[in-house]
Amino acid sequence: MIIDSATIWEACRDLLMGWGVGYPVAQVITLLLAFLSVAVFAIILVLALVLIERRLIGWIQLRPGPNRVGGRTGFLQTIADALKLLYKEDIVPLNADRLTYFAAPYAVFMPVMLMLVVLPFGAGIVNGSYRYFVVSDLNIAVLFILAMGSIELIGVIMAGWGSGNKYALIGAMRAVAQLISYEIPLILALVSVVLFAGSLSLVEIVQRQSSTWAIFPLFPAFVIFFITAVAETNRCPFDLLEAESEVVAGFHTEYSGMRFALFFLAEYLAMWVMAALIVVFFFGGWKGPMFLGQSGLWLTSFFWFMAKSFFFVWCFIWFRGTFPRIRVDQLMVFSWKFLLPLAIIQVMIVGWGITYRNPWLSANLIPRVTAADANTGLIGGFEYMTTPDALASLTMPELVAFGWSVLGAIAVIVLLGAMFYRTILGFRPSRDFRREIELKIMRLEDAKSGE
Amino acid sequence: MSDIRQDNPERVDDSSQEHLLVRFWFTEQESAGFKLFALFTLFWFATAFALAKGYGLFENAAELTREGKAGLIVFAGVPMILAIYVSLRFFWWVSAYLARVAGWAEAGKKIPGPARWFWFLVPAIGTYLYVDPLDNFGRLIAQVNLVTQLEQFGIPAFNPMLVLFRLLIVFFLVLLLWDYIKQGIIIAWDWLKETWGFAISFPQGLAVTLQCFLRPNVCVEYPEYRDEIPENFRGRHALVADERGIHKCIACRACERACPDRLIQISAVRNPETKKNELTGFLLDNSRCCFCGLCEDACPTDAIKHTPEYEYSCYERKEMVLDLFAEYIDRTAELRAKLGGARVS
């Protein structure tokens, strides 16, 4: 399946070296090019995202949103905002811890930027060989992303401490408590993905989803990852650390001007990165719908990656427009008493599926067990098989286990189908609320006649 | 709190299920009989099990004579029955507690146990166990051999008698514990309904916002577009002029008195000829007005009126003090001049 794990930047470096440039110079030039392209992409993306969020929230609230700067679409609004922030005075509180105060925005912003390093944007055939559009195809990319997500925390607590402001400190403490609580279900959801794909590299995780997107076998993990992604990016309904009514603006209360803009940039970039990670882990990354087949064109892969990630950005915005902010205790209870057990059950299910060589729970990657291997207890190797082939190679208990997994899948589909029916087809607010009102009136009349 | 309880004698403060706990620990467990019973059960069970194991009775039960089997049943069965009784007493208490927690049972109401006829099953089952016509105990112990079978062939052999025996056990257990199972199902169903209602509210909310998202927006973009304001809108005040451009105010100061914010100031002079008050000034502090419309209601001649005018922002606070009389004079000057210089006051 995996033809060649070379990235486009390695090809670029090879090209430079072909022109007679030395290895270190070529390496530095390509890395600079890669970083610049990613940075420019990130800035443009954030400028677009802020406007998109404001417009979409406006539409959800039945209003047009920003529509004055740059014509009716308001596409210059964020540029105007950024210019305004650039000209703002940079205020430093008197009792601020100056070093941490100045370093915090960068400590928040840089990890988010670094996450872009391992994010595969697409793949295509360049000069006859298959190349991935990723700055670096780390083989521990999942670990790297989790580490970067945790480092962001330090920046947040630095901002809260350095500001010398009680609201900032409370906001930062809330942020840390929340992010630590939600990181555990997030990691466990990723563990099931990693078990499914058999790799920590994002490129390989995407390639393993050629036959089926991971959302289908790992739906609960997707739900957990989505919710924790919303919490990790501190967005509604988990935006307790920025609750205006409680802590003024959370950890960035005291920041103004360009430093505030950096926090803003990090927040929105993290939102898109999380959406992109959802796409990579559960929706086949840059791959289009399966029935269209594979295409070697890098533009189609970009298109699908962007389309899918922006769909999830839209989902984040939709969530923000729908749900009110939850309470602190509800936040913790939801993470520790609902998401964590669910995540553990999901990991157990995937582990069970892999033990019984379930093709659907192991990305059709079937361990080859020969008679000799059975004696030594070792696995002879892995083999990609289509589902019928894999089923034909299973033993009786493994087939029984597969049957149980099919029954479970049917149960989940029936449950979700019922929910979908109840929600989309069976629920009409006007009618349902009217019935409630009528019932209330009937009860009142009963009470009257009872007297 | 005490007053409320006196008002409702049926209502018992049962938020902490303390009385139940107290009854269990001090009336049932503390009773000498129960203690003795539990100790005896434990002691007998341990002794019986150890002796049976020591004599190899479990391994060789299939080869025992019928009398030997009966002895085994009595020897092992008595402590089993005692253990079942003790655990049943425990479950009896637990089920009542659970039912109280779920708010299912009334306070002080006894949870119904099995019907009386049910206890006639005990000698019937006892006879069956004694005769053991299907050699169930032998087959139960033969299960030990199935482990070897599993190790050798990977798949346990299907043993219909064993399945029957297990089904029998399950059947009797269900019969025995039916009331508790029923209560458990009811509690579980309530919990499921509540949880389902909670879970369904998320997609319902999302559906509502999605509908709003797809609907065209309802904004009237103000400076460019304006809504039609109805005539009875309570905006800026004005003195009403009739068709000749004459105001109707008789300077009775009813509006001044009616105003809850005391923001109207009327000045008037008495005309010695007609002996009537004639208006000379009408000041109104719009910045403090709550637009309640009481001045309109109080006016006997309908001389003051709220207009649909709503744009009265200004740069200084003192500009909010409206001189309604001057405004009226400006407004009607042209009309009055045309009609031949009608007097205004």
Is A64 within 8 Å of B221 when comparing Cβ atoms?
Answer: yes
| A27/A358 Cα distance (integer angstroms) | 43
Q: Note which residues in 96-155 of chain B have CB less than 8 A from chain A.
A: 154-155
A2: confidence class by pLDDT, cuts 50, 70, 90:
very low
The region of weakest confidence among A220-224, A269-273, A435-439, B191-195 is A435-439
Q: Is the pLDDT of residue B25 over 50?
A: no
Nearest to A161 by CA among A246, A101, A113: A101
Task: Please give the residue of chain A at the shortest CA–CA distance from B208.
Answer: A429
Is B200 within 8 Å of A419 when comparing Cβ atoms?
Answer: yes
Nearest to A365 by CA among A191, A197, A190, A212: A197
CATH number, domain B237-338, options 3.40.309.10, 3.50.50.60, 3.30.70.3270, 2.60.120.10: 3.30.70.3270
A277: confidence class by pLDDT, cuts 50, 70, 90:
very high
- Please report the pLDDT score of residue B26 as a whole number: 44
- Which residues in B lie closer than 8 A to residue A427 (C-beta atoms)? 204, 207
Question: Average of pLDDT values for B31-52?
Answer: 66
Is B213 within 8 Å of A423 when comparing Cβ atoms?
Answer: no
The helix/strand/coil state of B154 is coil
Is B154 within 8 Å of A397 when comparing Cβ atoms?
Answer: yes
- Which residues in A lie closer than 8 A to residue B210 (C-beta atoms)? 318
The helix/strand/coil state of A20 is coil
| Of residues B207, B217, B219, nearest to A427 (C-beta) | B207
Is B213 within 8 Å of A429 when comparing Cβ atoms?
Answer: no
Radius of gyration of chain A (CA): 25
Better-scored residue on pLDDT, A85 or A295: A85
Q: Is the pLDDT of residue A443 over 60?
A: yes
- Please report the pLDDT score of residue A1 as a whole number: 35
| Of residues B154, B199, B206, nearest to A318 (C-beta) | B206
Interface test with B, best of A322, A333, A337, A395 (most B CBs within 10 A): A322
Confirm if A208 and A254 have CB atoms less than 8 A apart: no
Is A60 within 8 Å of B213 when comparing Cβ atoms?
Answer: yes
Percent over 90 (pLDDT), chain B? 14
Is A56 within 8 Å of B155 when comparing Cβ atoms?
Answer: no
User: Chain A closest CA to B157's CA: distance in Å?
Assistant: 13
Q: What are the beta bridge partners of residue A133?
A: A122
pLDDT tens per residue, range A140-174: 999 999 999 989 889 999 998 988 888 888 888 88
Q: Is the pLDDT of residue B30 over 50?
A: no
pLDDT tens per residue, range A352-379: 998 888 888 888 888 776 666 666 666 6
Question: Average of pLDDT values for A292-298?
Answer: 71
Tell me which range, A214-218, A312-316, B125-129, B198-202, is most confidently predicted by mean pLDDT: A312-316
Is A422 within 8 Å of B217 when comparing Cβ atoms?
Answer: no
Q: Is the pLDDT of residue A241 over 60?
A: yes
Q: What is the mean pLDDT of chain A?
A: 86
- Chain A contacts to B (CB-CB under 8 A): 56, 58-64, 67, 318-319, 321-323, 395-397, 419-420, 422-424, 427, 429
- Which residues in B lie closer than 8 A to residue A64 (C-beta atoms)? 217, 219, 221
| Of residues A59, A64, A396, nearest to B213 (C-beta) | A59
A4: confidence class by pLDDT, cuts 50, 70, 90:
very low
pLDDT tens per residue, range B265-298: 999 999 888 888 888 999 999 999 999 999 999 9
pLDDT tens per residue, range B119-145: 677 677 777 777 777 777 776 666 555
User: Chain B closest CA to A377's CA: distance in Å?
Assistant: 16
A388: confidence class by pLDDT, cuts 50, 70, 90:
confident
Q: What are the beta bridge partners of residue B269?
A: B278
Q: Note which residues in 24-53 of chain B have CB less than 8 A from chain A.
A: none
User: Chain A closest CA to B170's CA: distance in Å?
Assistant: 23
- Please report the pLDDT score of residue A346 as a whole number: 94
- Please report the pLDDT score of residue B33 as a whole number: 60
- Which residues in A lie closer than 8 A to residue B203 (C-beta atoms)? 419-420, 423-424
Total count of residues recorded for chain B: 345
- Please report the pLDDT score of residue B76 as a whole number: 66
Enter the tokens of residue A242.
């920025």
The region of weakest confidence among A41-55, A275-289, B68-82 is B68-82
pLDDT tens per residue, range B211-251: 888 888 888 888 888 888 898 899 999 999 888 888 888 88
The answer to whether B156 contacts chain A (CB < 8 Å) is no
B1: confidence class by pLDDT, cuts 50, 70, 90:
very low
- Please report the pLDDT score of residue A438 as a whole number: 78
Q: Where are the domains of chain B?
A: 16-193, 237-338
| Of residues B154, B204, B215, nearest to A423 (C-beta) | B204
Confirm if A368 and A380 have CB atoms less than 8 A apart: yes
| B249/B6 Cα distance (integer angstroms) | 63
| B96/B90 Cα distance (integer angstroms) | 10
Angle between helices A166-197 and A219-232 (to 10 degrees): 160
A344: confidence class by pLDDT, cuts 50, 70, 90:
very high
- Please report the pLDDT score of residue B165 as a whole number: 63
- Please report the pLDDT score of residue B212 as a whole number: 86
- Please report the pLDDT score of residue A439 as a whole number: 80
- How many Cβ contacts (< 8 angstroms) between chains A and B? 54
Is B199 within 8 Å of A424 when comparing Cβ atoms?
Answer: no
The answer to whether B221 contacts chain A (CB < 8 Å) is yes
Tell me which range, A326-330, B71-75, B337-341, is most confidently predicted by mean pLDDT: A326-330
Tell me which range, A105-109, A379-383, B126-130, is most confidently predicted by mean pLDDT: A105-109
Confirm if A60 and B213 have CB atoms less than 8 A apart: yes
pLDDT tens per residue, range B62-96: 666 777 777 766 766 666 676 666 666 666 655 55
Q: What is the mean pLDDT of chain B?
A: 74
Enter the tokens of residue A83.
């210019």
User: Chain A closest CA to B21's CA: distance in Å?
Assistant: 27
- Which residues in A lie closer than 8 A to residue B206 (C-beta atoms)? 318-319, 322, 423
Interface test with A, best of B209, B211, B221 (most A CBs within 10 A): B209
| Of residues B155, B199, B212, nearest to A62 (C-beta) | B212
Nearest to A267 by CA among A109, A45, A118: A109
The answer to whether B220 contacts chain A (CB < 8 Å) is no
The region of weakest confidence among A28-42, A122-136, A312-326, A406-420 is A122-136
Q: Which residues contact A75 (CB under 8 A, 6 or more apart)?
A: A51
Q: Where are the domains of chain A?
A: 92-355
The helix/strand/coil state of B166 is helix
The answer to whether B201 contacts chain A (CB < 8 Å) is no
B2: confidence class by pLDDT, cuts 50, 70, 90:
very low
The terminus-to-terminus CA distance of chain A in angstroms comes to 79
Interface test with A, best of B215, B217, B221 (most A CBs within 10 A): B217
CA separation (Å) from B180 to A84, B104, B172, B336? 69, 13, 14, 94
Q: Is the pLDDT of residue B196 over 80?
A: yes
The answer to whether B217 contacts chain A (CB < 8 Å) is yes
User: Chain B closest CA to A209's CA: distance in Å?
Assistant: 28
The answer to whether B224 contacts chain A (CB < 8 Å) is no
Question: Average of pLDDT values for B307-320?
Answer: 89
The answer to whether B219 contacts chain A (CB < 8 Å) is yes
Interface test with B, best of A59, A334, A431, A436 (most B CBs within 10 A): A59
